[in-house]
Amino acid sequence: MGYDNLIKQILAFVQLTNAEIEIIRSKFRSNKYKQKEYVLIAGEISTDIHFIVNGLVRVFYLNNGKETNTYLACDNGFVSSYSSFIHQGKSIENIQCIENTETLSISFKDMQELYSLISQWEKVGRILAEQNFLCVSDRLLKLQSIPAKEKYLKFLKTASDKIVQRTPLIHIASFLGMEPESLSRIRKSIS
C-alpha cells in the first residue's frame, strides 16, 4: 500500500512508463520509526528524502536550548532537511517522529542516479524543491506579518486533520511562532 501511495504522488507530477515506475520503486527502502525516535539529528548529513506512508513527524532546530518547529508532516507527505540533503552538509535541523511512523526513503545517491536514468525524474525533483521553497516562504511571511489568531485559523484550514488533531499543542505553538499559553488563549477565544 505504501509504495502505491508513493507512486500515486509521483504520477501526480509526471507521466512514467511501467518500467520507469519499477526502477523508481526499487530505489526506495522501507523504514519504521517509533514515537519520539529521531529520523535525523542536527549535525548529521541528511542523506535521504522520506515519503511518509503513515505517521506524524516534526522538523525542528534548537536555539539557545529552545526548540523551534519549522515543519510538520504526515501521511503521503515528503520530509527531509532539504538544505542538508541538497548540499550534503551537516543539518541544523532534527527530524523526530511524533508518533510511530513508516517511511519510504530514497538516498541522495539514488536521487542522482534517477536523474540520469529517467528524464522525468528531474521534474519530480524540481517540484519537490518548489514545494519546499513555497512552504518555507509561506511560513516566513506568516511569522512576520500575520497576527497570532489569524495564523492559527489559517493553520486549521490548511493543515491536514491528522496534524491538527494529533500534534501536541506545544509543537503547534512553536510551529506558529507563539508561546503555548498564547495558543491556549486563542483556542479558548474561538471555541
What grid cell was written down for 44?
Answer: 548529521
How far apart, in Å, do the first and last CA atoms of the chain sit?
38
Cα-atom radius of gyration of the chain, to the nearest Å? 17
> What's residue 40's pLDDT?
98
User: Which residues are bridge partners to 50 per DSSP?
Assistant: 79, 105
Show the cell assigned to 29.
527502502
CA angle 47, 49, 52 (to 5 degrees): 135
Amino acid letter, 174? S
Prediction pTM value: 0.91
- Spatial distance between the Cα atoms of 88 and 48, rounded to a whole number of angstroms: 10
Residue 69 DSSP code: E
DSSP 3-state of 182: helix
Q: What's residue 1's pLDDT?
A: 66
Going along the chain from its start, the domains and CATH numbers come out as: 2-145 (2.60.120.10), 146-191 (no CATH)
Amino acid letter, residue 190: I
Taking alpha carbons only, the member of 73, 129, 135 closest to residue 102 is: 73
Q: Return per-residue pLDDT of the chain as tens, 191 residues.
A: 689 999 999 999 999 999 999 999 999 999 999 999 999 999 999 999 999 999 999 999 999 999 999 999 999 999 999 999 999 999 999 999 999 999 999 999 999 999 999 999 999 999 998 988 888 888 777 767 789 899 999 999 999 999 999 999 999 999 999 999 999 999 999 87
Angle at 46 between CA 42 and CA 74, to 5 degrees: 90
Place of cell 512514467: 16
| Angle of helix 169-176 versus helix 148-158 axis, rounded to 10 | 120
What is the number of other CB atoms lying within 10 angstroms of the CB of residue 57? 26
| CB 34 within 8 Å of CB 28 | no
Q: What is the 3-state secondary structure (H, E, C) of 157-168?
A: HHCCHHHHHHCC
